[in-house]
């Protein structure tokens, strides 16, 4: 399963992501990785894109 979110805003400073605290992007990244997924952030002056990829099989969904 792949989920992509694009905000079309002013982008993020990727060099500051590790210093963020709380349950925002850092927490989301940790949760996705804890279940074997991939979490990617791309940023530009035109906005940010978050992409989460998870391997899900039918027995896990049921």
Domain boundaries, the chain: 2-61
CB atoms within 10 A of CB 5: 9
Going by C-beta distance under 8 Å and a sequence separation of 6 or more, which residues neighbour residue 58?
none
Instruction: Confirm whether pTM is higher than 0.85.
Output: no
pLDDT for 5 beyond 90: no
Q: CATH second-level architecture of 2-61?
A: 2-Layer Sandwich (3.30)
CB burial of residue 23 (10 Å; 0-12, 13-18, 19+): exposed
Q: What is the pLDDT of residues 16-55, one digit of tens each?
A: 666 655 567 788 888 899 989 999 988 888 888 889 999 8
Contact between 50 and 43 (Cβ < 8 Å): no
């Amino acid at each position: 399963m792949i989920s992509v979110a694009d905000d079309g805003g002013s982008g993020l400073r990727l060099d500051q992501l590790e210093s963020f605290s709380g349950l925002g992007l850092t927490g989301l990244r940790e949760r996705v990785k804890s279940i074997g997924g991939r979490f990617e952030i791309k940023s530009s002056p035109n906005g940010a894109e978050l992409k989460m990829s998870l391997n899900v099989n039918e027995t896990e969904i049921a």
